[in-house]
Amino acid sequence: MISQEILENEGRFEVDVKYRMPLQGSYSTGLWYCPECGYNNMREHSPRTIIGFAEDQHGRNVRIHRCGKCFELYYHHTTKDVYDMFLIYKEEVNNAEN
């Protein structure tokens, strides 16, 4: 059984201020689908489509993506593992640029 403390803290972790942004876009209940145009962003859905992180009204972290077709913003809940992958991706991009 999962403890209540784990459930209450799920989705709550520190995000570097340079990756924080205001909550914007539409909430996507379908992880891979843009709620505006219905495009399946599965192929593009990776750390490179994440434009930032925000908190929902309950204080849980969400990641904000830009749709690969209509370029609208959408968000859904995220985990620390995804945030860590995003940081690794950003580091690799920065190293490649230097």
- 26-27 sheet: strands from edge to edge: 26-27, 73-77, 61-66, 50-55
pLDDT at 25 (0 to 100): 92
pLDDT at 2 (0 to 100): 46
Mean pLDDT by 10 residues, the chain (98 residues): 51 92 90 85 74 92 90 90 91 84
pLDDT at 40 (0 to 100): 83
